[in-house]
């Protein structure tokens, strides 16, 4: 049984549920949630913190996600899990949702739905470091429950599967992070399977959450939140001619049917489903903002 409670001194829209689990370290897993301000709740975004992190900290009113969630009409959910290195390396920790943390999450989401009325059958997920471990494995475990996921810099990964063929993912890592090769390998394996994954690496970035990483994550999640709200669920392939193709070697992008896009090698291609998302994806590799006029010319003349 999950108990709902508001915590003294916290904002009225910040509450938590507690879910009993079979884990010795997580007898009651706590899931903090924050309802959006000034609008109806139209979806769930789960923000998974770093190893043994407090989910409440992810929902801070002055943090990078509260305003984003208000504008997108999303309920934010921040789980709090505990583990040990021994547990993790023997595949018994919360990184592995098929054991217990996944079912605990589903139970918590159902309780949150009952309190807020938010649709919780499909969710968006963002995870950094330990959060990326959970994010990609939850998507592998229950792809039908995930609209889209962001996994930024996990230390090790489970192999991608064709079950993710309708579940878009954004895979990111700093190029100065020791996790870079393992993270990129997950993306490359997924691409060979034809999975809808986008790659973004960041030069001179280590194991840290930089502003450009958050901007990219929010552009990606914002797009799929909008698609979900419009009932154009992200797991459906975009119609031909409506998206852009990016080159992960140069971080330039082109309209899908342009000659430039046709010349991008298959191993360097990523599909970018909207102009806004493509602009953020490209901009973070440049010191200058993307020019609106340049973008207009690119669309009209199919020039780089």
Residue extents of the structural domains in the chain: 3-237, 240-304
For residue 185, pLDDT beyond 80: yes
Question: Given this model, what pLDDT does residue 285 score?
Answer: 59
Cα separation of the two ends of the chain: 57
User: Any idea what the Cα angle at residue 221 is, between residues 217 and 225, rounded to 5°?
Assistant: 165
298 or 209, greater pLDDT: 209
**Residues pairing with 169 in the sheet:** 149, 197
Distance of CA 290 to the CA centre of its chain: 24
The CATH code of the domain at 3-237 is 3.40.50.1820
Per DSSP, helices labelled H in 193-291 are: 211-229, 259-262, 275-283
Contact call for residues 33 and 17 (beta carbons, < 8 A): yes
Q: What is the mean pLDDT of residues 124-140?
A: 97
67 or 297, greater pLDDT: 67
For residue 238, pLDDT beyond 50: no
Q: Tell me: the pLDDT tens digits for 23-43?
A: 999 999 999 999 998 777 889
Q: Tell me: the pLDDT tens digits for 169-180?
A: 999 999 999 999
Question: Given this model, what pLDDT does residue 234 score?
Answer: 39
Collapsing DSSP to helix, strand or coil, 30 comes out as strand
Q: Where are the beta strands (DSSP E) in 129-243?
A: 146-152, 169-174, 197-202
């Amino acid at each position: 049984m999950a108990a709902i409670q508001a915590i003294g001194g916290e904002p009225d829209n910040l509450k938590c549920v507690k879910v009993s689990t079979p884990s010795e370290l997580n007898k009651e897993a706590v899931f903090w949630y924050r309802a959006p301000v000034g609008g109806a709740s139209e979806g769930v975004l789960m923000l998974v913190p770093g190893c043994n992190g407090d989910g409440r900290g992810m929902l801070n009113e002055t943090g990078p996600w509260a305003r984003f969630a208000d504008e997108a009409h999303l309920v934010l959910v921040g789980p709090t899990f505990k583990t040990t290195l021994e547990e993790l390396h023997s595949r018994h920790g919360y990184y592995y949702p098929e054991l217990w943390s996944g079912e605990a999450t589903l139970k918590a989401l159902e309780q949150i739905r009952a309190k807020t009325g938010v649709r919780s059958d499909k969710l968006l997920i963002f995870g950094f470091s330990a959060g990326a471990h959970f994010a990609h494995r939850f998507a592998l475990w229950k792809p039908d429950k995930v609209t889209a996921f962001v996994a930024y810099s996990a230390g090790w990964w489970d192999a991608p599967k064709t079950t993710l063929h309708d579940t878009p993912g954004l895979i990111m890592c700093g190029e100065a992070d020791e996790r870079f090769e393992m993270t990129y390998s997950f993306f490359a394996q997924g691409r060979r399977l034809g999975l809808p994954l986008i790659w973004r690496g960041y030069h001179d970035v280590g194991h840290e959450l930089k502003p450009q990483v958050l901007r990219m994550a929010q552009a990606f999640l914002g797009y799929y939140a909008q698609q979900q709200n419009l009932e154009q669920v992200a797991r459906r392939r975009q119609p031909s001619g409506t998206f852009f193709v990016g080159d992960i070697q140069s971080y330039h992008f082109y309209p899908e049917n342009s000659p430039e896009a046709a010349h991008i090698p298959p191993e360097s291609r990523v599909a970018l489903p909207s102009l806004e998302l493509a602009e953020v994806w490209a901009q973070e590799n440049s010191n200058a903002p993307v020019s609106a006029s340049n973008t207009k010319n690119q669309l009209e003349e199919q020039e780089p």
